[in-house]
Structure 1
Amino acid sequence: MTAVAVTGLGIAAPNGLGTADYWAATRGGKSGIGRLTRFDPSGYPARLAGEIPGFVDADHLPSRLLPQTDRVTRLALTAADWALADAGVDTEAFDPLDMGVITASHAGGFEFGQYELQSLWSKGSQYVSAYQSFAWFYAVNSGQISIRHGMKGPSGVVVTDEAGGLDALAQARRQIRKGTPLVVSGAVDASLCPWGWVAQLAAGRMSERDEPTRAYVPFDRDATGYVPGEGGAILVLEDAAAARARGARSYGQIAGYGATLEPGPEAGPGHAHRQALRRSIEIALADAGLATGDVDVVFADGAGVPEEDAVEAETLCEVFGPRGVPVTVPKSMTGRLYSGAASLDVAAALLAMRDGVIPPTVHVDPCPEYDLDLVLHQARPAAALRHALVLARGHGGFNAAMVLRAHPTTTG
């Protein structure tokens, strides 16, 4: 079976713009959560978010793209540029049909759509931008990345909420195994605008606390919900043998993947939900040819919603045993980035295996009943990180699990 390697990373996160800044902040436990500034949140019950600071789109993209793109697409295009540069990819050296783009999306270009709706109702239809026809769409990031880099191979978009970041990478892996040498994949989300905010509030799962260090505290005894954020990661995936042949550096490989769908909300959290999540983990481990004891660290979903945290914690204890494996939730420093969260966790896991260190979960006072070995407050040295498990759970019952294998030359 074709091995699939990750050869490039492009990261835009609330606690770091670019891979180096993000990883330094994440290893150091630096949070990017604070009061919203992209609009005045004072009239809303939730007022905190993980915002990306210092991103000036005109510094990274040509001016012709700015009027036709939403903030989410500008971030995705920039992250894709960084990932391709990191991978040392010369797109001119590839047949366009040998390069694909598969991303995930939660909401598309909400901010762009909001502004055009305001123009429609306040000024009239003649003031609505022609770019509204696609700038709001879920597939816009895949489309714009493919156009910018001349990629005409298998492309698409996955919409499974928070699980999407893993599902997109799994679909990219599938296409590489079918013969496409290179696929740009992952996810970036950004909907920190009033329209997007209201849509997120409607689910009733957001934290309404105003203290940034206590608003989003997954697996905490006083967890009350999550804080949304913007950003994510775009990755370059390649046929591992082809990547070696061109002299590319590999961060590691996607070794296994599993996905399940939980029963509807009428069932309530409990055994059926644990069973579905556990099954996704078992499928991913079997796909990777691993036993539970081979997993060195788990990057948990960390919903921050007590009943969801309980399901995940109990499932991890069932699979690995009480305190059986180190568990971390670095998104406690960024907020939940919807589809961008899981691909960012994949990037963090690859960097963790490269450097032999597990990033921390910050500001959490863990609930003792969960019996997890949470990596708290500061990074934990771990010289022999060979396999990492990343979990993602999307609203509506989507579960995804992905096993990552360290590059064979990684020493930690």
Structure 2
Amino acid sequence: MSARTLVTGIGVAAPSGLGVEDYWAATRVGKNAIGPVTRFDASSYPSRLAGEIHGFDAGEHLPGRLVPQTDRVTQLALVAADCAFADAGVAPGEIDPYDMGVVTAAGSGGFEFGENELRKLWSLGANHVSAYQSFAWFYAVNSGQISIRNGLRGPTGVVISDQAGGLDALAHARRQLRRGSRLIATGGFDASICSLGWASHLHGGLMSTSDEPERAYLPFDEAAAGYVPGEGGALLILEHEDSARARGARTVYAEFAGYGSTLDPKPGSGREPGLRRAIETALADAGCHPAEVDVVFADAAATPRLDREEAEAITAVFGPYGVPVTAPKTMTGRINSGAAPIDVVAAVLAMREGLIPPTTNVELSPAYDLDLVTLRPRTASVRTALVLARGHGGFNSAVVFRSLD
């Protein structure tokens, strides 16, 4: 069987759009989706902006019995999964359920569901806590619910490595395909815009405290002062090329060609961060020379130290101003485990259209030798894209996607 792993379906739930076409229509033109928090009263907190998905009613997309059992993050994941399978054209019974699996990433689990049940516990007593709390909060719940809803009985799992987890999940899915599975649904989701989740974000000490939606999240800008959280994620259908061709897959977006991951050294060790090695490992895995990469989708932490480390890693591999770099997550906020899979979606859609989406609102600092795509989209032939993600605690991941055209 061919070793090539193909993307044959996509589902996305992002602050800038629910569904591939809505998401891309907003992203390609740089439409900002960051605004004041509305999901809870954030007025007493130092950070009050987020990338929220407005107008989402789970009851319009999911069975009524399922809605009270699930947290918002799982509802978003299930809707994205429905879209991804429909996009891939995979009909029930077409593939043996034991040949299909799911691997997702999660950084926070069902925070909002858990918070609501804690309120019931404290105010009403233990008998009023939902039985669904036993799994609705859990990191693996998205994989489990996607598996049940879509009849996937093959390899199933969850990856937890903060912001890098979304790429690590894709890599684990590719491993399962190489071990004999025919189809793996994979990606990552997070939705922690609630008071409990907000406290967790604030504890990290890296959130922006600006109240200006266009000036709050500014990676690689001299004014960079932290990130804005977002919610959502993306699910991709990955298949072996031979299997996809055999079933007559109607859409093939790109090849998942390479992956690399590293951990940063101990702070104070004097050794360089691990991102450069992750990039080089991913390129080597893809058999790709740096000159072949047409765009880099940056992690874009928006703190001076992390931005400097990422810029230095990109420059070390590609040279000063050696490759276009973009961070469309400036329109949505950082979505933890969901951020990098959304970037992968943007990368393969950039290949489809020949258009690199912009890093909105940012004025590149002269301290960084980056060819950052800002202000407006850039027309370009995009055949190979590199997506980067870094997680709290020193996780670094990189993936290479390649056009089949």
TM-score normalised to structure 1 length: 0.97
**Residues 7-40 of structure 1, C-alpha deviation per residue, up to 9 Å, x if partnerless?**
0110110111111010010001001100000011
Structure 1 residues 380 and 271: alpha-carbon distance in aligned structure 2, compared to 1, 3 A threshold:
farther
In the alignment, is residue 257 of structure 1 matched against residue 247 of structure 2? no
Partner SS, residue 366 of structure 1:
coil
> For 1:46-85, what aligned pairs fall within 5 Å after superposition?
46-85=47-86
Q: Which amino acid aligns with 1:234?
A: L
Contact 2:189 / 2:234 at 8 angstroms: preserved in 1? yes
User: How far off its partner does 1:195 sit?
Assistant: 0.3
Q: Which amino acid aligns with 1:387?
A: T
User: How far off its partner does 1:407 sit?
Assistant: 2.0
**Residues 43-85 of structure 1, C-alpha deviation per residue, up to 9 Å, x if partnerless?**
0000000000111100100000011100000000000000000
User: How far off its partner does 1:379 sit?
Assistant: 0.7
**Residues 90-123 of structure 1, C-alpha deviation per residue, up to 9 Å, x if partnerless?**
1321111011010000000000000011111111
User: How far off its partner does 1:277 sit?
Assistant: 0.7
User: How far off its partner does 1:377 sit?
Assistant: 1.1
Partner residue, 1:210: 211
Q: Partners in 2 of 1:357 and 1:62 — Cα distance?
A: 38
**Residues 100-155 of structure 1, C-alpha deviation per residue, up to 9 Å, x if partnerless?**
01000000000000001111111100000000000000000000000011111001
User: How far off its partner does 1:267 sit?
Assistant: 2.4
Partner residue, 1:272: 272
Partner residue, 1:126: 127
Partner residue, 1:346: 344
State which of 384, 387, 403 in structure 2 corresponds to 1:387: 384
Q: Partners in 2 of 1:372 and 1:161 — Cα distance?
A: 25
Partner residue, 1:357: 355
Partner residue, 1:298: 296
In the alignment, is residue 398 of structure 1 matched against residue 398 of structure 2? no
Q: Partners in 2 of 1:91 and 1:224 — Cα distance?
A: 48
Q: Partners in 1 of 2:363 and 2:124 — Cα distance?
A: 51
Q: Which amino acid aligns with 1:301?
A: D
Partner SS, residue 93 of structure 2:
helix
Partner residue, 1:17: 18
Q: Partners in 2 of 1:3 and 1:371 — Cα distance?
A: 34
Identity among equivalent positions (%) equals: 63
User: How far off its partner does 1:188 sit?
Assistant: 1.3
Q: Partners in 2 of 1:80 and 1:116 — Cα distance?
A: 26
User: How far off its partner does 1:244 sit?
Assistant: 1.6
Partner residue, 1:141: 142
Runs of at least 5 residues in structure 2 that lack an aligned partner in the other structure: none
Q: Partners in 2 of 1:16 and 1:267 — Cα distance?
A: 42
Partner residue, 2:365: 367
User: How far off its partner does 1:201 sit?
Assistant: 0.4
> For 1:167-206, what aligned pairs fall within 5 Å after superposition?
167-206=168-207
**Residues 246-290 of structure 1, C-alpha deviation per residue, up to 9 Å, x if partnerless?**
2211000100000000123x328x7521xx111001110000001
Q: Which amino acid aligns with 2:211?
A: D
Q: RMSD value over aligned CA atoms?
A: 0.9
Partner SS, residue 56 of structure 2:
coil
Q: Partners in 2 of 1:28 and 1:357 — Cα distance?
A: 10
Q: Partners in 2 of 1:7 and 1:407 — Cα distance?
A: 12
Contact 2:265 / 2:271 at 8 angstroms: preserved in 1? no
Q: Partners in 2 of 1:119 and 1:30 — Cα distance?
A: 39
User: How far off its partner does 1:386 sit?
Assistant: 1.2
Partner residue, 1:2: 3
Q: Partners in 1 of 2:96 and 2:401 — Cα distance?
A: 28
Q: Partners in 1 of 2:99 and 2:360 — Cα distance?
A: 42
Q: Partners in 1 of 2:193 and 2:103 — Cα distance?
A: 23
Q: Which amino acid aligns with 2:272?
A: A
Partner SS, residue 65 of structure 2:
helix
User: How far off its partner does 1:322 sit?
Assistant: 0.4
TM-score normalised to structure 2 length: 0.98
Q: Which amino acid aligns with 1:277?
A: L
Paired residues, what number?
A: 403
Partner residue, 1:319: 317
Q: Partners in 1 of 2:84 and 2:369 — Cα distance?
A: 37
